[in-house]
Every structure is written in C-alpha cells, then in structure tokens.
Amino acid sequence: MKVGRKGFTLVELLVVIAIIGVLVAMLLPAVQAAREAARRSSCTNNVKQLALAFHNYHDTYKKFPAYQYPVSGTNSWEGHGALTMILPFIEQNNIYDRVNFTLRWDHGNHSALRTTHIEAFKCPSDVPYPNQAYGGTNYGVSGGARVNFYDTGSPTPASGVFVRRRETSMAEVL
C-alpha cells in the first residue's frame, strides 16, 4: 500500500512564493494608481467646495470677497485675503471667529491660525515642504488679465473678479 505524502516540497513552496511575489508586484502599481486617482478626486472636490463657498459668500453679501483687505488704517499688503473671508462657508467658523481683522495676518496673535492646516485648502497629492511653517494652500484667486494689484485708478485697472480692496458683484462679472 502506498503512503500519501503530506506537505509541500521545497521546490513547490518556492514556486508558490514566487507566484505570490509576482502578483503583488503587479498589484502595487494598480493600488498606487487608485490612491492617486482618489487624491485627484479629492483635489477636484476641494475646488468645487471653494467655488461653492465663493458663491455662498456672494449670495450672502451680494459681492465676491476682495483679493485682499488691508488692515484698518494702513495701506499695507499684510491684510486678510479672500480665502480667509470664505472660512465660514467651508465650515471653518471656529477659525474665522479667531481672526482679528484689525491686526496684520503675520501679527503674533495670529501665529496659531497661520500654522493651521485646512484640508479644503490643500490638495492631498501635494507634498509639504520640510519644516513648512504656514498652513498654506494650493488654490488661489484670479485678479484678471490686466492685474494692477494696487488698483490705484490707473488707466488699466485690474480686470478680474478678485481685486485688492474691491469687491465684485456677479453683475459685474457677467
């Protein structure tokens, strides 16, 4: 009577391990591609959410926010920008309520706010800089084709929706 053998031979075991290794090697790029596709989708969703926030801001105030608001009593560039103004419209009221609009954005009282990372402002595919001190953003607003950031009444004023110290209505855009 023949006794059945139990278990694998060393060769069979090595073949199985090699096949599994090849399958994993083929699967990893697909997994990475799926992850990157999900990150791209998240970036697209962030843009949609920011656009919706700008429209909700417009619905509330009948104007889009200005590119930048100087601090009261100054003509400086250290004021707060359009992305700060839409914080309540992207469910970031807790951050917005802590902003002191009479102080420059780089004032010491805003140090915790400056370093706050807001997911809606960053694309997940973006690799942060080492030792990045500010929360940062991957998205911006357009001052238009003829940008005169100071908008000092020159013959070619800024032609975009988001201009320094000037709020623009939808009627002006259309």
- The answer to whether residue 2 sits within a structural domain is no
- The answer to whether residue 38 sits within a structural domain is yes
Nearest residue to 77 via CA among 68, 85, 65, 86: 68
Q: What H or E segment, with its residue span, contains residue 68?
A: strand 68-69
Say which residue the tokens 């006794």 belong to: 3
- The answer to whether residue 56 sits within a structural domain is yes
Per-residue pLDDT of the chain (174 residues; tens, 9 = 90+): 566 667 778 898 999 999 999 999 999 999 989 999 998 999 999 999 999 999 999 999 999 888 777 676 655 666 788 888 899 999 999 989 988 887 877 777 777 887 888 888 888 888 777 777 777 788 878 777 665 555 555 555 667 777 777 777 887 777
* Cα–Cα distance, 158 to 116 (Å, whole number): 31
150 lies in which domain range? 10-173
Task: Report the number of distinct structural domains present in the chain.
Answer: 1
- The answer to whether residue 64 sits within a structural domain is yes
What's this model's pTM, rounded to 2 decimal places?
0.73
